[in-house]
Amino acid sequence: MWLVVVLVGIVTSTSNAYEFSLPRIPRRSKSLSPRLAMTSTSSAEDSIAVAVTREDGNNKKLLKALESRLAGRISVLEVPCIAHADGEDYALLAEKLRSERWDYVAVTSPQAAIILNSAWDSVRDDPIPVTAVGKATSEALEEYGIAVSFCPSKAIATTLMLELPATRVTDATRVLYPASAKARTTLENGLRERGFEVVRLNAYDTVSAHWTHIQRTNAEKCQVACFGSPSAVDGWLRNSNNNTTVLAACIGKTSADVCRDRGWPKECIFFPDKPGIEGWINVVEEAVDALVSETV
């Protein structure tokens, strides 16, 4: 890597002598060494390896989007950090959908869309309005033929709870919320404060994946990891012996806060103001740029 930097220096020195005589001093030389060592041993010498960490099979959209935006600059490796399991209330979901009056079903992740679809046949002919937290979740629902009637202006629970329109004047608007057992109580608490009635079912759970030997080897090559949830961050740490060397490109602030709490240096955490695939890809690009310009 120094060799590459020096060569670039020589090439650019014809146009700007200062670039060669005054090389940029890395701010964090401590963390720089493992990353530099890795680049020189990676097979694609010029591309930065980026890990996608959602559940096995759920990374395709992000992977494609990254490869088209950052073509030639990165190679994307699948390193699943989470896996999904049924939650303790899963068995109640179909019956709850069918047997009570609901004004909305609230869906806050693509995984919740998969879970809802598996129970949706009980109401498919007389569907309940569905609210999705953001674009990726909406698309997942629509792929299953489940119509989305409301999507908030920002893809986070706080915005959904503030913006979801009440549909009843005299009695409470009723929301069924099939959630991850690990989801915080932000959404149901906020809606209840606005006078909604919310029934939360812990319909699925998010657990750490266990890396195979190949996945571990791939993870060690990566200089950037994409984290789509706090569980993905924890899955990464559990499988890597708490290694926080990788730059964390987070889908939003919630995952970024968890990285900071778990010991990542602030300058190694990247997250967009507006959560979503688009902003996520932007911050992966920022992380890649930071590696190239050696500002991390």
CB atoms within 10 A of CB 11: 11
Least CB distance to ligand NAG at residue 38 (A) = 5
Half-sphere exposure in the Cβ direction for 201 (13 Å, CA): 25
Least CB distance to ligand NAG at residue 219 (A) = 7
Q: Which of 243, 261, 267, 293 is the binder for ligand NAG (CB under 6 A)?
A: 243
Residue 71 has phi, psi (to 5 degrees) of -50, 130
Stretch 10-69 residues interacting with ligand NAG (CB under 6 A):
34, 38
Q: Distance between CA 202 and CA 178 in Å, rounded?
A: 6
Residues binding ligand NAG: number (CB under 6 A) = 9
Least CB distance to ligand NAG at residue 16 (A) = 33
Please tell me whether residue 211 adopts helix, strand or coil conformation.
coil
Least CB distance to ligand NAG at residue 288 (A) = 15
Q: Is residue 246 within the footprint of ligand NAG (CB under 6 A)?
A: yes
Least CB distance to ligand NAG at residue 247 (A) = 9
Q: Based on CB atoms, which residue is closest to ligand NAG, 132 or 291?
A: 291
Longest dimension (CA), the chain: 77
Q: Which of 245, 253, 257, 290 is the binder for ligand NAG (CB under 6 A)?
A: 245
Q: Distance between CA 225 and CA 230 in Å, rounded?
A: 13
Task: Find the Cα–Cα–Cα–Cα dihedral 225, 152, 160, 60, rounded to 10°.
Answer: -30
Q: Based on CB atoms, which residue is closest to ligand NAG, 246 or 249?
A: 246
Q: Is residue 176 within the footprint of ligand NAG (CB under 6 A)?
A: no
Write out the two tokens for 15. 């146009």
Q: Based on CB atoms, which residue is closest to ligand NAG, 34 or 265?
A: 34
Q: Which residue is nearest to ligand NAG (CB)?
A: 243
Stretch 186-225 residues interacting with ligand NAG (CB under 6 A):
220, 222
Q: Is residue 242 within the footprint of ligand NAG (CB under 6 A)?
A: yes
Task: Select from 13-21, 72-80, 119-127, 240-248 the region that touches ligand NAG (CB under 6 A).
Answer: 240-248
Across 264-291, b (16+ Cβ under 10 Å) vs e yields beeebbbbbebbbbebbbbbbbbbbebb
How far, in Å, are 90, 92, 98, 166, 203 from residue 123 at the CA level? 16, 14, 6, 22, 17
Residues making contact with ligand NAG (CB under 6 A): 34, 38, 220, 222, 241-243, 245-246
